[in-house]
Amino acid sequence: MRLVTYRHENATRLGALEDGLVRPLTGPLANTCEQLAALAEAHERRLRPQTASVPIADVQLLAPVPRPGKVICIGLNYHDHAAECGLPVPETPMYFAKFGSCVIGPNEPVPIPPGSTQTDYEAEMAFVIGRRARRVSTANARAHVLGWCCLNDVSARDFQFSDGQWTRGKACEGFAPMGPWIATPDSVPDPHNLGIRLRLNGSVMQDSSTTQLVFGVDELLAFLSEHVTLEPGDVVSTGTPPGVGFARKPPVFLKPGDVMEVEIDGLGTLRSPVVGS
Domains and CATH numbers, the chain: 2-61 (no CATH), 71-275 (3.90.850.10)
Q: How far apart are CA 181 and CA 17, in angstroms?
A: 8
Contact 126, 151 (CB under 8 A): yes
pLDDT at residue 247 tops 70: yes
What pLDDT shows up at residue 72?
Answer: 98
Among residues of the chain, what percentage have pLDDT more than 90? 84
Contact 235, 72 (CB under 8 A): yes
- Residue 202 makes CB contacts below 8 A (sequence gap 6+) with 259
Minimal CA–CA distance to 266: which of 178, 196, 218?
Answer: 196
What pLDDT shows up at residue 27?
Answer: 86
| Tens-digit pLDDT profile for residues 120-151 | 999 999 999 999 999 999 999 999 999 999 99
| Tens-digit pLDDT profile for residues 32-86 | 778 878 888 878 777 776 678 999 999 999 999 999 999 999 999 999 888 888 8
| Tens-digit pLDDT profile for residues 97-116 | 999 999 999 999 999 999 99
Q: How far apart are CA 111 and CA 118, in angstroms?
A: 12
The mean pLDDT value of the chain amounts to 94
Q: Tabulate helix, strand, coil % of the chain (nearest 5).
A: 20, 35, 45
Angle 266-124-87 from CA coordinates, rounded to 5°: 135
What pLDDT shows up at residue 50?
Answer: 66
* 190-207 mean pLDDT: 98
